[in-house]
Structure 1
Amino acid sequence: MANNKPKRPNPMGGNKGGKKPSFNFYWIYAVIAVILIAFTLIDWEGSSKKISQPEFEANILDSNYVDHILIKDKSVVEVYLNEEGLKSHYYKENKSKNDGSLLGGAQTGPQFFFKIISPETFGETIKEWETAHPGFDYDVDETNTLGRDILGWIIPIGLMIVIWIIIMRRITGGAGGAGSQIFSIGKSRAQVFGNGKSTNVSFKDVAGLEGAKEEIQEIVDFLKHPKKYTELGAKIPKGALLVGPPGTGKTLLAKAVAGEAKVPFFSLSGSDFVEMFVGVGASRVRDLFKQAKEKSPSIIFIDEIDAIGKARGRNAQMSSNDEHENTLNQLLTEMDGFGTNSGVIILAATNRADVLDKALLRAGRFDRQIMVDMPDLNERKAIFNVHLKPIKVTADLDREFLAKQTPGFSGADIANICNEAALIAARKKKKMVEMQDFLDAVDRIVGGLEKKNKIITPEEKRTIAFHEAGHATVSWMCEYANPLVKVTIVPRGRSLGAAWYLPEERQITTTQQILDEMCAAMGGRAAEKLIFGRISTGALSDLDKVTKQATAMVTIYGLNEKIGNVSYYDPQNQYGFTKPYSEETARLIDEEVKNMIEEQYKRAIKILSENKDKLVELAEMLLKKEVIFKDDLEKVFGKRPFDHVIPDPEEVKKEDANSNDDPIIPTDTDNSEEDID
């Protein structure tokens, strides 16, 4: 009976799917070791046993055991015994261990040998043996053994050389393996794309970032069609620095350049120049640019350039050597120094442009700084369209709604949401990924994994419900607070409850907007105080948020009347451990921050007192459902009177095009908004 039982997989990771196992080079080492051991142990004298000349004369020649002798190289005499000698007691006691008779064969070779003591007088000795022993027979072998002797020396030496070469190749990892730093430590570690090798990423795979793509595509177009620019006397920028928060697509843009450009593309990280040995970083920079110039026109991409591009002279007293500065100096010289550097374009990416050396950012090195910022609403929608291509989604999936639900998310975050949604749908054994899976993925990434089995007492659960209801109520009643999306008291990650809001797409923030956000954040603690007459530690994250907001308003944005229009913002840490203001100003800052927070706390209590019945109704609904949405809040509070309709950017463009009014030119161009937690 045939056994149709399926084979169990090999637990040791053996042959899978009938695939032949790969050859293991360690067998070569084993064979070489066996050969060397055999070469050492083999008795190269064959089956003969060595004796002395006097012993030959006394025990063999005088006993008439000699059949004949063979004189080789005028230095060695091989002795062949006759039948009587082979049967003699002497031979049986002194025969060689390598005698063929031990293997069952006949002994045909010489049984003994001895070295000639005096070659000059050995001829006289032979005559004496012939005279004393009639019938004595001998022969002379005049074969030249020089080649054999030389081969005996060459074979061991050759084996040693081969073993040395193999060991060195294994140590150095071939052309660039893990151990290559031993003998090529000063060589560049750049990954080269060219000659048909590509990243399989094009500009079509980069959604949003239209401004950044336009500048990058111009560089690629110059490399493809240089005459179009040079005929007009234009010079392409020597370098472009991609600056932006993590996950916004800086490295993805570089991959697209490597996939689109038809020139060699050298990609490496800033940390690849860093080594514990002195002078290695500068050597690798020289080698990188040498390779790039040999293959020019070419592009060099250095990711996380802040690893080697930090400003020189900072905290010099804490540094044991100037290896970092030597590497940076060499990079500056290669990018734009005394020598020419035509045909090599430098791309770099960092999210810490504020720490880079000023000499690195000047024109002639990095001529362009391309800002790769967080995507806006339309860009997030385009990013969703790219990452949803390989995912099986339902036909009614509202991608614009997903874009609105992910404000402040980077391209990497959106890619993670799409993947997480597919995992959630697969976990639920669905055939298609639905909208709810994406919403669950957003909650999972923002708040963490649900912990429904977390032990919470009924009293704690009631406190959490009123805390979250307080946030929802105050945010609903404050005009500039972010509109609520969902409130839950199901523990997620390290939080016992959470509220999700939908921030507006805005580039600048006014004082009232920040104050309303602070008031909404203090609504949780205010609800605890109003309902229970006590407060808890559950407002830790809220207090941290409002403290940072208030401190930023006073010390960075100049939004406090007593401190005035002064900013102590120090992104490059120029002040070090010192404060750029007096002790009296520090005390005033502390007072203003505290007063601002306490004022919003009292305001939150006032709002909740005026809507106490609705607060209780909302908290009871939250205790019952555990999760409530915007529609539930509208049933309790009615339609929110402050909801603003976000205008469609395309409609705004059409209105601007049809308008005959003169455009308003802003007098202050420094309207950049720093992130406020």
Structure 2
Amino acid sequence: MAKDNKTPQKKPRFSAWWIYGLIAILLIGFQFFGSGNLASTKKTTTSELQEYLRNGDITKILIITNTNQAKVFLSEEALQKDVHKDVSDKPLFPSTGMVPQYVLDYGDLQIFQNEITEIKKENNLDTIVEFDKESKLFTDIIFSILPFVLIIGIWIYLMRRMSGGAGGGAGGQIFNIGKSKAKLFDEKTDTRTSFKDVAGLEGAKEEVEEIVEFLKNPDKYTSLGGKIPKGALLVGPPGTGKTLLAKAVAGEAKVPFFSLSGSDFVEMFVGVGASRVRDLFKQAKDKSPSIIFIDEIDAIGRARGKNNFTGSNDERENTLNQLLTEMDGFGTNTNVIVLAATNRADVLDKALMRAGRFDRQIYVDLPDIRERKEIFEVHLRPIKTAETLDLDFLARQTPGFSGADIANVCNEAALIAARKEKKAVTKQDFLDAVDRIVGGLEKKNKIITPGEKRTIAYHEAGHATVSWMLEHAAPLVKVTIVPRGQSLGAAWYLPEERLIVRPEQMKDEMCATLGGRAAEKVIFNKISTGALSDLEKVTKQARAMVTIYGLNEEIGNLTYYDSSGQNEFGFSKPYSEETAQTIDKEISKIVEEQYQRAINVLEENKDKLTELAERLLEREVIFKEDLEKIFGKRPFEKEEVETEQKSVAKEEPAPEESAKENK
């Protein structure tokens, strides 16, 4: 038996506009039919009425006293006359009462009545004259109710707009404002993301996969007396894949998956946030086992203040209190796991972070070189490449890049290739994309005087020379004096990926960073504002050595760093004024030592520095090979080969522009 492949037609959805239209039709119909159906009634004047009355054509005159209107009814014989042929037609619609042939508006009732009475006496007529009051009950009711209807309608419209739009769905209607705005994902239609689409993040992915396994096979874990975790918090820098992991869970779990943002609980009305939390967990419990994913949970999960400065009811704290109760209170939900993501775990409330609510904290870190290679493999699938790309090389060229940054590199490379009218993306397009993202767009038409260009060339050559001559400084890859983004020149390096950093390594990096200003001093005996980002970088590094890492002998093994982030909002320093002066002196001492060291290195290699700068002025862009021709092989080449490396751009901002933080 053949199956009927016809798709069932969707029934039209009910709309409130249907009711509005029906009411309008009824009102029009009532006015049309209830008005006496005056299709065959004609307006007349007082003089014509007196003439018809003298001729004996009128059988009845109905005087409406409250409207100053009279209705005239003719006899059957009069209707046969030609003078009344316009009103002799029968009405279009049947009426329950007699329909007048004429109506007229009179002035003074007493005068009008006396005239009719006089004509009746003169002509000995038996015309009936009656008095009545016309009822306007319906019209009065309409006009008395209409203002309230309009006010209520406007109020409902505004409430629907403020609570998420005039459409349907939870929170869309005024009576659903306390309902949850969570989107329920259907694994068959809404999301196709799986764990195969998540590259790198092996540790985080393993823990998230185990959560999915908890829901699929709970008996495997509970049979030994264990309990299913109630929540997992994904923590990490922006763009590392926290939301992507949640999408993969939605695609793999095969259970109801509720997704919403922390800001979805926030509303201008008091009590709405707590109401939405209750409704969310009620829905999740009804569909258990299920997963709730709250993105950017710091919107409602911030630490509660001890002092209520406003003296009012704090809606955000009420929402957080309700969330704490739902996650681990007397009415604890079973088989409901809460996933949450944030890049600001330091501001979250301690009660929210404790075991029993978020049992697991999964740190999603920036990918290392191996993980970056895997991420490139995922994002290169839809890219049409002209050659087999060296993914190890691309991974080394993108240090400190998050997964989102790598996706942006691949997309930017495709756009650059399309802009050049290419049929496929090449290796050079990826390198240009990295330069574009790290350094900004090239501005070859920027007006720079020859003197400024020469200063920039020696500045960049100074960076390259010092970094080439120091053991722990990052070796150079490329230098350019073409303006790019906010910078007037840029240098790309291959620094090591270190997990711990030693003082000598930090000092070599600071010395190389100050090589630009040192070159200006050595060659021109003048300095400029072009070293703004350099000074900012080395000042931060020196301050970190003294106040954070305890790498200074004068301060000793002390740190004034507060990992909880509470110290940032304090009004007092965690050290005395005397210690503050010592800190300032030590920071200045470290920076000046490295600056003098850079000057000494450049003085020893002044001829090579000049040759490098002149070549840079001639070509505008030079590479590692050019440095090898001038300086020879770097003496620390063996360490570079053995160590996994990456590239990073260091920028020199224009004097009038602010420094841009380097990746």
TM-score by length of 1: 0.78
Distance 1:456 1:634 in 2: 29
Counterpart-to-counterpart distance in 1, 2:521 and 2:206:
55
CA distance in 2 between counterparts of 1:335 and 1:30 reads 47
Q: Partner residue of 2:454?
A: 462
Distance in 1, Cα, partners of 2:461 & 2:88: 102
Q: CA 1:495–1:298 in 2, change beyond 3 Å: closer, same or farther?
A: same
Measured against aligned partners, the alpha-carbon deviations of 1:44-89 in whole angstroms (never above 9, x if no partner) come to 222225899x9999754652326x8899xxxx99834556666587
> Which residue is equivalent to 1:656?
none
Counterpart contact for 1:48–1:99, Cα < 8 Å: no
**Alignment match, 1:411:** 403
Q: Do structure 1's residue 210 and structure 2's residue 202 form an aligned pair?
A: yes
Q: Whole-Å Cα distance in 1 between the matches of residues 402 and 199 of structure 2?
A: 12
Q: Using the TM superposition, give the Cα deviation of residue 182 of structure 1 relative to its aligned residue in structure 2, in angstroms.
A: 3.9
* Deviation of the 1:279 alpha carbon: 1.9
The aligned counterpart of 1:559 is: 551
Gaps of 5+ in 2: 1-14, 63-69, 93-97, 105-119, 129-135, 645-660
Matched, 1:512 2:504: yes
Consecutive unaligned residues in structure 1, runs of 5 or more: 1-23, 115-128, 139-148, 650-674
| 1:230-269 paired onto structure 2 within 5 Å | 230-269=222-261
CA distance in 2, matches of 1:449, 1:55: 92
Aligned-partner residue type, residue 442 of structure 2 = E
How many Å separate the matches in 1 of 2:141 and 2:271? 42
Q: 1:473 aligned to 2:501?
A: no
Per-residue deviation, 1:110? 5.5
CA distances 1:86-143 after superposition (whole Å, capped 9, x unpaired)? 6587x69xx8xx8869x9xxxx9852489xxxxxxxxxxxxxx9xx999x999xxxxx
**Structure 1 pair 534/314, CA: closer, same or farther in 2 (3 Å)?**
farther
Superposed counterparts of 1:331-370, under 5 Å: 331-370=323-362
- Structure 1 range deviating more: 564-573 or 343-352: 564-573
Partner Cα distance (2:492, 2:287) in 1:
53
The alpha-carbon deviation at position 412 of structure 1 amounts to 0.4
Q: Shift of residue 634 of structure 1?
A: 1.1
* 1:159, distance to aligned residue in structure 2 (A): 12
Mapped partners of 2:88, 2:547: distance in 1: 100
Do 2:290 and 2:337's aligned partners in 1 also have CA atoms closer than 8 Å? yes
CA contact (8 A) 1:198 1:258 kept: no
The Cα shift of 1:294 comes to 1.2
SS of the equivalent of 1:628 reads strand
Moved more, 309-318 or 424-433: 309-318
Alpha-carbon distance in structure 1 between the residues aligned to 2:49 and 2:390: 111
Letter of the structure 1 residue corresponding to residue 35 of structure 2: W
Question: Secondary structure of the equivalent of 1:369?
Answer: strand
Cα distance in 1 for partners of 2:581, 2:636 equals: 37
- Residue 629 of structure 2 corresponds to 635
Structure 2 residue matching 1:241: 3-state secondary structure: strand
CA distance in 2, matches of 1:201, 1:497: 42
Q: 2 CA distance for matches of 1:616 and 1:558?
A: 39
Q: 3-state SS of the aligned residue for 2:487? A: coil
Aligned counterparts, 1:236-635, within 5 A: 236-313=228-305, 316-317=308-309, 321-575=313-567, 576-635=570-629
Give the CA deviation at 1:273: 1.5
| Matched residue SS, 1:554 | helix
Distance of aligned partners of 1:329 and 1:405 in 2 relative to their CA distance in 1, 3 Å threshold: same
Measured after TM superposition, the shift of residue 151 of structure 1 is 12
Q: 1:314 to 1:417 in 2, by over 3 A?
A: farther
Instruction: Report the CA distance shift for 1:362/1:538 in structure 2 as closer, same or farther (over 3 A).
Output: same
Identity of aligned residues (%): 68
Q: Counterparts of 1:192-203 in structure 2 under 5 Å?
A: 192-194=184-186, 196-203=188-195
Number of aligned residue pairs: 587
Q: Report the AA paired with residue 593 of structure 2.
A: E
8 A contact 1:449–1:492 mirrored in 2: yes
Distance 1:425 1:282, change over 3 A: same
CA distance in 2 between counterparts of 1:431 and 1:240 reads 45
Instruction: Give the corresponding residue for 1:44.
Output: 35
Change (3 A) 1:319 1:453: farther
Q: Following the alignment from structure 1 to structure 2, what is the Cα–Cα distance between the partners of residues 527 and 100?
A: 110
- SS of 1:497's equivalent? strand
The CA distance in 1 between the partners of 2:630 and 2:41, in whole Å, is 112
CA contact (8 A) 1:310 1:357 kept: yes
Contact 1:80–1:109, Cα closer than 8 Å, also in 2: no
Offset at residue 637 of structure 1 (A): 1.0
- Would the aligned equivalents of 2:181 and 2:264 in 1 still touch at CA under 8 Å? yes
In 1, Cα distance between equivalents of 2:72 and 2:80:
15
SS in 1 for 2:232: strand
Q: Tell me how far apart the structure 1 counterparts of residues 147 and 630 of structure 2 sit (CA, whole Å).
A: 89
Q: Which moved more, 1:449-458 or 1:227-236?
A: 227-236
Distance change >3 Å, CA 99–CA 413, structure 1 → 2? farther
> SS of 1:464's equivalent?
helix
Change (3 A) 1:316 1:566: farther
Compute the TM-score of the two structures, normalised by the length of structure 2.
0.79
Aligned pair in 2 of structure 1 residues 471, 36: CA closer, same or farther (>3 Å)? Answer: farther
| Cross-structure match for 1:126 | none
1:671 — aligned with what?
none
How many angstroms apart in 2 are the aligned matches of 1:314 and 1:522?
46
Conserved 8 A contact 1:552-1:676 = no
Residues 204-232 of structure 1 show CA distances to partners (whole Å, capped at 9, x for unaligned) of: 11100011011000111111111222222
> How far apart, CA to CA, are the structure 2 residues paired with 1:209 and 1:327?
32
Select between 177-186 and 251-260 the one with higher mean Cα deviation: 177-186
In the alignment, the residues of structure 2 paired with residue 181 and residue 77 of structure 1 have an alpha-carbon distance, to the nearest angstrom, of 51
Cα pair 2:387 2:426 within 8 Å, conserved: no
**AA partner of residue 620 (structure 2):** E
CA distance in 2, matches of 1:42, 1:315: 69
Q: Quick one: which amino acid aligns to residue 607 of structure 1?
A: V
The amino acid that maps onto 2:539 is T
Which amino acid in the other structure matches residue 48 of structure 1? T
CA shift, 1:41, in A, is 7.8
SS of the residue corresponding to residue 258 of structure 2 reads: strand
Distance in 2 (alpha carbons) for counterparts of 1:582 and 1:26? 71
1:528 CA displacement:
0.1
| Conserved? CA contact 2:239–2:404, under 8 Å | yes
SS in 1 for 2:196: helix
> Residue type matched to 2:559 in 1?
S
Distance between the aligned counterparts of 2:143 and 2:307, measured in 1? 58
| Alpha carbons 1:79, 1:113 under 8 Å: kept | no
Q: Any residues of structure 2 matched to 1:8-87 within 5 Å, and which? A: 44-45=35-36, 46=38, 47-48=40-41, 60=52, 63-65=55-57, 79-81=73-75
CA, structure 1 residues 38+637, in 2 after alignment: closer, same or farther (shift >3 Å)?
farther
| Aligned equivalent of 1:111 | 101
- Alignment partner for residue 177 of structure 2, among 161, 177, 185? 185
Distance 1:464 1:345, change over 3 A: same
